[in-house]
Amino acid sequence: MSSESAEHRTRKVIDRCVSCGHCRDLMNDTSCLYFPRLYQLRDRETAGGARISAAEMKQMLDLCNTCGICPCPTVQTWIRQAKDAFVERAGLPYSVRLIENVQFVGKLGGAAPRLANLLVGDSPVAVGLKRLAGLHPARRLPRFPLESFDSWAQSRGLTHMPQTAGRKVAYFAGCTARYLFPEVAKATVEVLQHNGIAVFVPEQKCCGMPTMLEGDRPFTFDRARFNLAELGKCVAAGFDIVCSCPTCGYLLKSVLREGAEYSEAYRSLVQRMSAAANGDADQVSARLALDDAALTGRSNARSAHGRQPWMLGLVPWKVFRDHGYFAEIDGLERLRVANHTYDLGEYLRELQREGQLNCEFGAVAARNVAYFAPCHQRQQDIGQPWMELLGLLPGVEPTQVGDGFDCCGQGGIMGFKKDFHETSLTIGARLTRKIAAAVPERLATDCLSCRLQFQQMLPYEVLHPVEILRDAYRAKHRGQAVFNGILRTFDRHDSCFALTADSRRE
């Protein structure tokens, strides 16, 4: 990061959005609290009021939970970098350092889950612990499962890379599923395996989103570098990377990719290919597509962006630069992982479109399923795969709740924090009102942060759609088992009759 001061960086993003002005009205109809505050502060200055102070800048930046709803990825990157600069100067409170490390907290609680659950319950000890950790006293804390997904996966040999020629998935489960909601990660494995796909759970660290939201740049980069190295090896070995958590998917697919097509590494690759193809951009595009597909047999829809001939024409222009948040990391390394990462819903829908999804579903217990597409799923530009998949289940009528401007407000760990709790509920209120009005039998969302927020604000049980799919497969299996049982009974009866007849004959 350059040596620009935190104030200078914040001023740059304020000026950009004031001179554009597009989000002044647009964001009024959304759950974003950052833009109304930005325009309010700037209007005060313009009217001759006090200049925006450093404290006000920091407080304004803290209102952004990186939901991705606003239209400019560059502006979102600048917001994060301005926040990083404030944190670099003042440091992070120890309590934030503790809770931003979701993996550490998950491992700690998971080491003695019964004791941890006693401590995070409603006891006076829990109130004291929340105060120490900087959590809001009214926040409901998730319970630690008796067995983490990691142990479950190890006991089933999923942590050894399978040697198989067919479709194979490297599953990036994400910390929340690994340590708090292993049932979601187990359902993912079950559904993939039910479709004949070999599943591998590679070594992985937190995707880095919670620490990025807190402005902890060194920690975030440490996680990103580790995951890029591990997942890069998986892609080289022919594995598609699949995420059941839309936030992990958004980070691996979109945030890592940002700017990578203007990186020096990508630029030189395209220039070399272009020289070999006598400057024919169509040939270069086709060659890049072949190279991508050669690794795993396919690449995601987003990967096509960097291969379009008009885009390749821009790549040699040095005026376009890699200004992405992760620009310090090699562009090709980022693209290799970004191009081969899939949201779980996107992946299963691709199977279905290719006629490879097992569509033998049994009936599940709910008809009216309300589904909320979380912000980071929407930002992946993959349409609504879970609505399509839920619509395949017999008797299920999924309805979508919330629109493209809704956010639950949890923002990873931000909703737990004492200072952000009320803001988080304010952001989420617009959406939870809509959900309550839909009076669903089942509430489904693929984001476990949203799940935590809905558990805080609503009385409904919340499921990941993959858990509903898993239930539908099991229901079919049970139905089939009962049917087979009846057949076997008839078989036995038939044998009895046959025996009796044979005995009579004798």
Is the distance from CB of 287 to CB of 268 less than 8 angstroms?
Answer: no
Among 20, 127, 294, 486, binds ligand SF4 (CB under 6 A): 20
Among 64, 87, 212, 224, binds ligand SF4 (CB under 6 A): 64
Minimum distance, C-beta of residue 64 to ligand SF4, in the bound complex (Å): 3
Is the distance from CB of 28 to CB of 39 less than 8 angstroms?
Answer: no
Would you say 77 or 101 has its CB closer to ligand SF4?
Answer: 77
What are the C-alpha distances in Å from 43 to residues 17, 19, 34? Answer: 12, 12, 14
Minimum distance, C-beta of residue 165 to ligand SF4, in the bound complex (Å): 42
Site membership for ligand SF4, residue 403 (CB under 6 A): no
With vertex at residue 453, the alpha carbon angle to CA 450 and CA 454, rounded to the nearest 5 degrees, is 85
Burial of 256: CB neighbours in 10 Å, binned 0-12, 13-18, 19+? buried
Other C-beta atoms lying within 10 Å of the C-beta of residue 422? 12
Which amino acid appears at position 123 of this protein? Answer: S
Site membership for ligand SF4, residue 65 (CB under 6 A): yes
Distance, in Å, from the CA atom of 458 to the CA atom of 73, rounded to the nearest integer, reads 32
Among 1, 8, 15, 16, binds ligand SF4 (CB under 6 A): 16
Site membership for ligand SF4, residue 15 (CB under 6 A): no
Among 6, 17, 60, 414, binds ligand SF4 (CB under 6 A): 17
Site membership for ligand SF4, residue 75 (CB under 6 A): yes
Minimum distance, C-beta of residue 39 to ligand SF4, in the bound complex (Å): 9
Binding mask 302-331 for ligand SF4 (x = CB under 6 A): ------------------------------
- The region of 64-72, 273-281, 301-309, 381-389 touching ligand SF4 under the rule CB under 6 A is 64-72
Site membership for ligand SF4, residue 98 (CB under 6 A): no
Minimum distance, C-beta of residue 206 to ligand SF4, in the bound complex (Å): 20
Would you say 38 or 187 has its CB closer to ligand SF4?
Answer: 38
From the list 57, 52, 80, the residue with the least C-alpha distance to 68 is 80
Site membership for ligand SF4, residue 68 (CB under 6 A): yes
Minimum distance, C-beta of residue 60 to ligand SF4, in the bound complex (Å): 10
Within residues 30-59, the interface with ligand SF4 by CB under 6 A covers 32, 34-35
Minimum distance, C-beta of residue 8 to ligand SF4, in the bound complex (Å): 17
- The region of 67-75, 131-139, 222-230, 264-272 touching ligand SF4 under the rule CB under 6 A is 67-75
Proportion of the chain in helix, strand, coil states, percent, rounded to 5: 60, 5, 35
Minimum distance, C-beta of residue 31 to ligand SF4, in the bound complex (Å): 8
From the list 61, 112, 113, the residue with the least C-alpha distance to 83 is 61
Distance, in Å, from the CA atom of 264 to the CA atom of 270, rounded to the nearest integer, reads 10
Among 6, 23, 87, 242, binds ligand SF4 (CB under 6 A): 23
Mapped onto helix, strand or coil, the DSSP state of residue 463 is: strand
Site membership for ligand SF4, residue 243 (CB under 6 A): no
Among 6, 52, 61, 67, binds ligand SF4 (CB under 6 A): 67
Would you say 20 or 127 has its CB closer to ligand SF4?
Answer: 20
- The region of 28-36, 136-144, 233-241, 492-500 touching ligand SF4 under the rule CB under 6 A is 28-36
DSSP category for residue 255:
I
Q: How many residues bind ligand SF4 (CB under 6 A)?
A: 19
Would you say 68 or 106 has its CB closer to ligand SF4?
Answer: 68
- DSSP string across 101-170: -HHHHHHHHHHSHHHHHHHHSSSHHHHHHHHHTTB-TTPPPPPPPSS-HHHHHHHTTTTSPP--SS-EEE
Query: Phi/psi of residue 124, each to 5°?
Result: -60, -30
Is the distance from CB of 41 to CB of 53 less than 8 angstroms?
Answer: no
Segment holding 354, helix H or strand E: none
DSSP category for residue 331:
H
Would you say 80 or 302 has its CB closer to ligand SF4?
Answer: 80
Mapped onto helix, strand or coil, the DSSP state of residue 319 is: coil
Within residues 167-226, the interface with ligand SF4 by CB under 6 A covers none
Positions that interact with ligand SF4 (CB under 6 A): 16-17, 20, 22-23, 32, 34-35, 64-72, 75-76
